[in-house]
Amino acid sequence: MNYEKWKEKYKPNMTKQDQMILYETFGNDLEKIRKTDPNYVWTVVDTNDESLAILPGIHHVNRVSFVITKISHKQKDSDMEVSA
C-alpha cells in the first residue's frame, strides 16, 4: 500500500499544517505510545534499501519514530508494509 492510500484509510494524527505527527522513540513520546492502544500505533522503520516503511504495531528493530492513527489496524494488517 502506498502512503497516500494508507493516510486516507487509517487517518494518522496530523498537525494544523497537515503534517503527520511523528512520536519519538524515547522520553515522553515513548510513554504516550506505551499508554496508547497498540492497535492504533504504527512504527516508522528504516528498511535495508535506505527507504522508510510504516509497520502496524510497536516494533523495536530499525525504528525511527511512531505514528498514532484514528482508525485501528486491529492486527489484521500485521503483515502490511506502507512505503513512506
pLDDT tens per residue across all 84 residues of the chain: 888 889 999 999 999 999 999 999 999 999 999 999 999 999 999 988 878 889 999 999 999 999 999 999 986 655 566 765
Assessment of whether the complete model's pTM goes beyond 0.85: yes
According to DSSP, the β-strands at 41-46 and 82-83 are unpaired
SS3 46: strand
As beta bridge partners, residue 46 has 52
Structural domain count of the chain: 1
Q: How many CA atoms lie within 13 A of 45 on its CB side?
A: 19
End-to-end CA distance of the chain: 10
Contact of 30 with 12, CB cutoff 8 Å: no
Domain ranges, residue 18: 3-83
